[in-house]
Amino acid sequence: MTSAMNTYEKRQDAQIGEALRLRREALGFTQAQLGKAMAVTFQQVQKYEQGRNSVRVAKLLMAAEFLKCEVGDLLGQKPEETPGTARLVRAWSALGPEQREAVTALVEAFRRTEAGSC
């Protein structure tokens, strides 16, 4: 492995770890709780958060589900922000599955109405 690749991977591991830590802390979870959801020890979560170990894709998916976010959020990928986007994301994150389904149906109905009025 080249030095440049090694540096890039370490930087990515650190960024993902920081995103995990920030999201976990924002939701008030402990490393042990996140570890249980990811089927790893809290020590492994510490290593992820410190950027010392890479997070496997399957573990990242488990973390995103537990932390109620998209994997892209943990990878540092941000959707195009518009006024109100953060507010909508916060509100969406607080909804349960049935409520999310109802909101999705409502938005799709609005979209169909708009498409039909063109």
pLDDT at residue 18 tops 90: yes
Q: Does domain 3-74 have CATH number 1.10.260.40?
A: yes
List of residues 6+ apart from 39 with CB closer than 8 A: 59, 62
The predicted structure's pLDDT at residue 118: 45
Task: Please tell me the distance from the alpha carbon of residue 68 to that of residue 64, in angstroms, as a whole number.
Answer: 6
With a threshold of 0.75, does the pTM exceed it? no
pLDDT in tens, 42-63: 999 999 999 999 999 999 999 9
List of residues 6+ apart from 101 with CB closer than 8 A: none
The Cα angle at residue 77 between residues 75 and 81, in degrees rounded to 5:
150
Domain spans of the chain?
Answer: 3-74, 85-116
